[in-house]
Copies of this chain bind each other. A is one copy, B any other.
């Protein structure tokens, strides 16, 4: 199965980042406060068909997104987030 987001929406898959605190304890991601990183899995036709928008974001990009944005979905046992382009803050290169 493949998720095709509508309009200006994007499908992303969160990237879990292990992180040591100063005292050396590894925090599971749920204990961290930062916005999360993710990889872009699919972009809607509102992005793919817009010259400016498709230049800014493409499948495979690593992105920082607004943590409370979007809807989580599970397809074929994998968890994804569907959110709007406006909720993608930046691309990490």
Binding site for B on A (CB under 8 A): 1-7, 9, 11, 34-35, 44-45, 49, 52, 55-57, 64, 66, 71-75, 82, 85-86, 88-93
* Contacts A64-B73, A66-B71, A73-B35; A5 near B90 (Cβ below 8 A): yes
Number of copies: 7
Q: Is the CB of A2 within 8 A of B71?
A: no
Q: Is the CB of B75 within 8 A of A6?
A: no
Interchain CB contact (< 8 A) of A91 among B4, B35, B55:
B4
Least CB distance from A10 to B in Å reads: 10
Question: Lowest 3 A-B CB distances belong to which pairs?
Answer: A4-B91, A5-B90, A2-B93
